[in-house]
Amino acid sequence: MIRKTRLYTPGPTPLLPAAQFAMAAADIHHRTAEFRALYTRVLAQMKEFVGTTNDVLILASSGTGAMEASVSNLTSPGDRVLVLTAGKFGERWTGITKAFGCEVDVVSAPYGSTFSLDQVKAALKLETRAVFVQATESSTGVRHDVQAIGQLLKDAKSEALFIVDAITGLGTTHLDMDAWGIDVLIGGSQKALMIPPGLSYLAVSPRAWDRMEATYNPRYYFDLRKERKNALKGESAYTPSVALIAAMGAALDWIAAQADGNLVEGRKKLVDNAETCAAMTRAAATAMGLKLFAPQGSEAAAATGILPPEGVDSGAIVKGLRSKFAIIVTDGQGEMKGSLFRIAHIGFFDYMDTIAVIGALEQVAVALKLPLPNLAFGTGLIAAQKVFAERTK
Ligand SMILES: *Cc1c(COP(=O)(O)O)cnc(C)c1O
């Protein structure tokens, strides 16, 4: 049979055709009225997509660039900061803050779990200047309780800025930056926005802008104050990725069109969509006798981490899906390699995509004779069908 390559990865995610067409047509110079009109519109739409009244800035970098910018612009060498981590992306915060000379306290929880609020409370000090966390940890498929951490910081009357990597949280989980006391919220183009990698974006609170007046870590390309000044004129400090910005505009229009032109409602639909795809996948895996990596109640809708049966390397399942169906799912990252596989739901995935990957997983499970109690065609699909019908009736 022919095989169509399909990405089921939590970034890059499948591309939206309308965005691809917009990219191909984006032959515009960036110091012109035409670009300024596009950029101004996209920056305004991004506020609605993020769901904030704060400034949103767009940078030409992958998501990690915005993570680095939040550290370089908001800390000074010797600042005490707190990193909350339970996975590979959490560890990235530790790496970046150390690289910029911060004194880093770390609260860590085992991969596949999340930390308790008591742990966070115990680690928060009077002198903590910033707290870093992921909204959803893409390497494990676990959602952290950002709202509760924000509340804890408020209750403690902490001076710490609250900086959240929502690179796979945006568009897959409900986030309320302004109400939850988030100071910086970070996203990336290759995730829920359904466009290629190359742009990061971040929303910045007034408190964070104030902090920037006094911090003195080195920064040049990622100087957020300079970027904001330019954004107000409809430009970026340096040559922007014009094609990706055109794609972003098309993607935001498409999301709005899902709800009769209302971008905020469209974003909620995108979150609902990811949640339904994730719930279908969890139900299918569980019905097949596979175990989920994330604890119940903390599952990220961005991606589902699934454990292979005991004694089986997850690589065999990843390879099986790839060779039989050209389906790309991700194995565990780093030391988790071989012990889980991840199916993404973030962005441009629908019912058909989800049913397809579950059907393919059943084929691979049977072909590999996985030691599962319920190894039979249809077990996962039936469970997924029921979840879909229930959630969309
Ligand atoms: C994808 C991702 C990133 C950013 O990675 P880049 O490769 O720099 O785009 C950061 N955090 C999380 C949680 C992610 O999923």
pLDDT in tens, 240-264: 999 999 999 999 999 999 999 999 9
Here the contacts of 115-124 (C-beta below 8 Å, separation 24 or greater) are 115/84, 115/86, 115/144, 117/145, 117/148, 117/149, 117/152, 120/82, 120/84, 120/149, 120/152, 121/152, 121/156, 123/82, 124/82, 124/152, 124/153, 124/156, 124/158, 124/160
Equal CATH topology for 6-12+262-391 and 17-257 = no
DSSP, collapsed to helix, strand or coil, labels residue 102 as coil
pLDDT of residue 104: 98
CA of 66 to the centre of ligand 1 (A): 10
pLDDT of residue 168: 98
- Give yes or no for residue 183 CB within 6 A of ligand 1: no
CA of 64 to the centre of ligand 1 (A): 6
**339-360: per-residue pLDDT in tens?**
999 999 999 999 999 999 999 9
- Give yes or no for residue 188 CB within 6 A of ligand 1: yes
What percent of the chain stands above pLDDT 90? 99
Mean of pLDDT over the chain = 97
What percent of the chain stands above pLDDT 70? 100
CA of 379 to the centre of ligand 1 (A): 34
Residue 124 has pLDDT above 90, yes or no: yes
Average pLDDT over residues 306-318: 98
d(CA 278, CA 270): 12
Specify whether the CB–CB gap between 196 and 247 falls below 8 A: yes
- Give yes or no for residue 61 CB within 6 A of ligand 1: no
- Give yes or no for residue 167 CB within 6 A of ligand 1: yes
Atom of ligand 1 nearest to the CA of 302: 15
Residue 335 burial (CB < 10 Å; 0-12/13-18/19+)?
exposed
24 sits in which H/E element: helix 17-24
- Give yes or no for residue 134 CB within 6 A of ligand 1: yes
pLDDT of residue 155: 98
Pocket test of ligand 1: the residue of 71, 134, 138 to mutate, having most ligand atoms within 8 Å of its CB, is: 138
Atom of ligand 1 nearest to the CA of 188: 9
DSSP, collapsed to helix, strand or coil, labels residue 67 as helix
pLDDT of residue 340: 97
Domain ranges in the chain are 6-12+262-391, 17-257
pLDDT of residue 142: 97
Residue nearest to atom 12 of ligand 1 (CA): 167
Closest C-alpha among 288, 262, 285, 258 to residue 273: 258
- Give yes or no for residue 186 CB within 6 A of ligand 1: no
CA of 300 to the centre of ligand 1 (A): 15
pLDDT of residue 265: 98
CA of 188 to the centre of ligand 1 (A): 7
- Give yes or no for residue 10 CB within 6 A of ligand 1: yes
pLDDT of residue 378: 98
- Give yes or no for residue 165 CB within 6 A of ligand 1: yes
Residue nearest to atom 4 of ligand 1 (CA): 63
Residue 315 has pLDDT above 90, yes or no: yes
Residue nearest to atom 14 of ligand 1 (CA): 167
- Give yes or no for residue 93 CB within 6 A of ligand 1: no
Q: Any idea which architecture 6-12+262-391 has in CATH?
A: Alpha-Beta Complex (3.90)
CA of 310 to the centre of ligand 1 (A): 29
Pocket test of ligand 1: the residue of 85, 89, 164, 202 to mutate, having most ligand atoms within 8 Å of its CB, is: 89
Q: Which two tokens stand for residue 233?
A: 């004129």
**26-83: per-residue pLDDT in tens?**
999 999 999 999 999 999 999 999 999 999 999 999 999 999 999 999 999 999 999 9
pLDDT of residue 374: 86
Residue 285 has pLDDT above 90, yes or no: yes
Residue nearest to atom 5 of ligand 1 (CA): 63
- Give yes or no for residue 64 CB within 6 A of ligand 1: yes
**71-117: per-residue pLDDT in tens?**
999 999 999 999 999 999 999 999 999 999 999 999 999 999 999 99
Q: Any idea which architecture 17-257 has in CATH?
A: 3-Layer(aba) Sandwich (3.40)
